[in-house]
Chains A and B, each alone.
Chain A
Amino acid sequence: MAKTPIDRSGTPLVEMRDISIAFGGIKAVDHVSLDLYPGEVVGLLGHNGAGKSTLIKCLSGAYKQDSGEVYVNGEHAQIENPRDARDYNIETIYQTLALADNLDAASNLFLGRELTNALGFVDDSAMEAETRRIFQRLNPNFRKFNAPVSALSGGQRQSVAIARAVYFQAKILIMDEPTAALGPQETQMVADLIQELKKQGLGIFLIDHDVHQVKRLCDRAAVMKNGELVGVVNVDDVTTDDLLGMIIAGKKPGVAAA
Chain B
Amino acid sequence: MADTTTERGSTSRGNIFKTLEIDTRLLGMVGAFVIVCLMFNVLTDGRFLTPRNIFNLTIQTVSVAIMATGMVFVIVTRHIDLSVGSLLATCSAMMAMTQTVWLPQYLGIDLGSPLIAPLAIVVGLLTGAIIGGFQGYLVGYLAIPSFIVTLGGLLVWRNVAWYLTNGQTIGPLDDVFQLLGGIAGTLGTAGSWVVALIAVVAACFAIWSARRSRIAHEFPVKPVWAELLIMVIAAIVILGFVYTLNAYAVPERVLARQFEASGQTMPEGFTQGYGVPFSVLLLIAVAVAMTVTARKTRFGRYIFATGGNPDAAELSGINTKWLTVKVFALMGILCALAATVASARLSFHSNDIGTLDELRVIAAAVIGGTALAGGLGTIYGAILGALIMQSLQSGMAMVGVDAPFQNIVVGAVLVLAVLVDIIYRKKTGAA
Q: Does A pair with B?
A: yes
B219 partner, pick from A102, A113, A128, A150, beta carbons under 8 A: A128
Q: Which of B301-343 contact A (CB under 8 A)?
A: 301-302, 304-309, 311-319
Residues of chain A lying within 8 A (CB to CB) of residue B317? 81-83, 86, 112-113
Option from B1, B4, B213, B301 in Cβ contact (under 8 Å) with A114: B301
Instruction: Judge if A155 is at the interface, Cβ distance under 8 Å.
Output: no
A151 touches which of B4, B313, B376 (Cβ 8 Å): B4
CA distance A129 to B297 in the complex (A): 18
In the assembled complex, the Cα of A94 lies from the Cα of B318 at a distance in Å of: 16
Compute how far the CA of A86 lies from the CA of B318 in the bound complex, rounded to whole angstroms: 11
The segment from A12-20, A139-147, A227-235, A248-256 found at the interface with B is A139-147
Closest to A147 in B: B4
Using a CB-CB cutoff of 8 Å, which residues 114-138 of chain A contact chain B? 114, 116, 120-122, 125-126, 128-129
Answer whether A101 and B6 are a contact pair too, CB < 8 Å, given A83-B319, A111-B301, A121-B297. Answer: no
Indicate whether B3 reaches chain A with its CB closer than 8 angstroms.
yes
Alpha-carbon distance A108/B375, docked complex (angstroms): 13
Q: A146 contacts B431, CB within 8 Å?
A: no
A129, B217: Cβ atoms under 8 Å? yes
Q: Is the CB of B311 within 8 A of A98?
A: yes
> Taking A128-B217, A144-B7 as contacts, is the C-beta distance between A103 and B318 under 8 angstroms?
no
B316 touches A82 (CB 8 A): yes
Q: Are B309 and A98 in contact, CB atoms less than 8 angstroms apart?
A: yes
Instruction: Verify B309–A125 contact, CB threshold 8 A.
Output: no
CA distance A94 to B309 in the complex (A): 14
Contact A98 B308 (CB under 8 A): no
Q: How far does the Cβ of A97 sit from chain B's closest Cβ, in whole Å?
A: 8
The yes or no answer to A30 lying at the interface (CB within 8 A) is no
Are B7 and A107 in contact, CB atoms less than 8 angstroms apart? no
**Residue B224 CB within 8 A of the other chain:** no
Whether A100 sits at the interface, judged by CB under 8 Å, is yes
CB pair A62–B315 under 8 Å, yes or no, is: yes
Q: Which residues on B sit within 8 Å (CB–CB) of A83?
A: 317, 319
Q: Is the CB of B312 within 8 A of A111?
A: yes
Structural contact, B217 and A100, CB atoms closer than 8 A = no
- With an 8 A cutoff between CB atoms, is A45 at the interface? no
Judging by beta carbons under 8 Å apart, are A100 and B305 in contact? yes
Q: Flag if A104 contacts B305 (CB, 8 Å).
A: no
| A68 interface hit (Cβ, 8 Å) | no
**Chain A residues in 8 Å Cβ range of B216:** 125
What total of A-B pairs shows CB separation below 8 Å?
110
Min CB–CB distance A142 → chain B (angstroms): 10
Please indicate which of the listed interface residues B4, B305, B311, B429 has the most CB atoms of chain A within 10 Å of its own CB: B305
Q: A125-B217, A147-B2 are contacts. A102–B318 as well, Cβ < 8 Å?
A: no
Is B25 interfacial (CB 8 A cutoff)?
Answer: no
What string of 1s and 0s marks CB contacts (under 8 Å) between B197-216 and chain A? 00000000000000001101
Note all chain B residues with C-beta closer than 8 A to A112: 302, 313, 316-318
Contact of B431 among A92, A107, A150 (CB under 8 A): A150
C-alpha spacing A35/B376, complex, angstroms: 43
A145 to B305, CA, bound (A): 17
Q: Which residues of A contact B319 (CB under 8 A)?
A: 81, 83
- Within A215-244, the residues touching B (CB, 8 Å) are none
A99 touches B312 (CB 8 A): yes
Query: Which residues of chain A are near B213, meaning CB under 8 Å?
Result: 125
Give Cα A31–Cα B52 distance, bound, in whole angstroms.
Answer: 76
Are B308 and A100 in contact (CB-based, < 8 A)?
yes
Q: Are A121 and B296 in contact (CB under 8 A)?
A: yes
For residue A134, give the distance in angstroms from its CB to the closest CB of chain B: 14
Complex contacts, A100 vs chain B, CB 8 Å = 304-306, 308-309, 312-313, 375
Answer whether residue B5 sits at the interface, using C-beta atoms and an 8 A cutoff.
yes
Nearest B residue to A94, CB-CB:
B315
Nearest CB of chain A from residue B311's CB, rounded to whole Å: 6
A82 lies within 8 A of B315 (CB): yes
Whole-angstrom distance from the CB of B239 to the nearest CB of chain A?
A: 28
Expressed in whole angstroms, the Cα–Cα distance for A113 and B305 within the complex equals: 13
B220 — nearest CB in chain A belongs to which residue? Answer: A146
Give every chain B residue within 8 A of A146 (Cβ-Cβ). 2-7
A121: chain B residues within 8 A (beta carbon) = 292, 296-297
Q: Which residue in chain A gives the minimum CB-CB distance to B430?
A: A148
- Chain A residues contacting B3 (CB-CB under 8 Å) are 146
**Does B298 make an interface contact (CB < 8 A)?**
yes
**In the assembly, what is the distance between CA of A104 and CA of B3, in Å?**
9
Residues of chain A lying within 8 A (CB to CB) of residue B7: 143-146
**In the bound complex, how far is the Cα of B309 from the Cα of A97, in angstroms?**
10
Q: Which residues of A lie under 8 Å from residue B2 when comparing CB positions?
A: 102-104, 107, 146-148
Is A98 within 8 A of B301, CB to CB? Answer: no
Establish whether residues A111 and B305, one from each chain, have CB atoms under 8 Å apart when the complex forms: yes
Interchain CB contact under 8 A, B298 and A103: no
Q: Do B308 and A101 have beta carbons less than 8 Å apart? A: yes
Complex CA distance for A76 and B313, rounded to whole angstroms: 27
- Closest chain A residue to B3, Cβ basis: A146
Q: Which residues of B contact A62 (CB under 8 A)?
A: 314-315
Q: Which residues of A contact B306 (CB under 8 A)?
A: 100
- Inter-chain CA distance A100–B214, complex, in Å, is 24
Q: Are A102 and B376 in contact (CB under 8 A)?
A: yes
Query: Can you report 8 A-B residue pairs in the complex whose CB atoms are below 8 A from each other?
Result: A96-B311, A98-B316, A100-B309, A101-B375, A102-B431, A103-B305, A112-B302, A148-B2
* 6 nearest A-B pairs in the assembled complex, by CB-CB distance: A100-B308, A102-B308, A102-B375, A112-B317, A98-B312, A112-B316
Known contacts A83-B319, A148-B431; 15 additional CB pairs below 8 A are: A82-B315, A82-B317, A98-B315, A100-B308, A102-B305, A102-B375, A102-B376, A104-B2, A111-B301, A111-B312, A116-B298, A125-B216, A129-B219, A143-B8, A151-B4
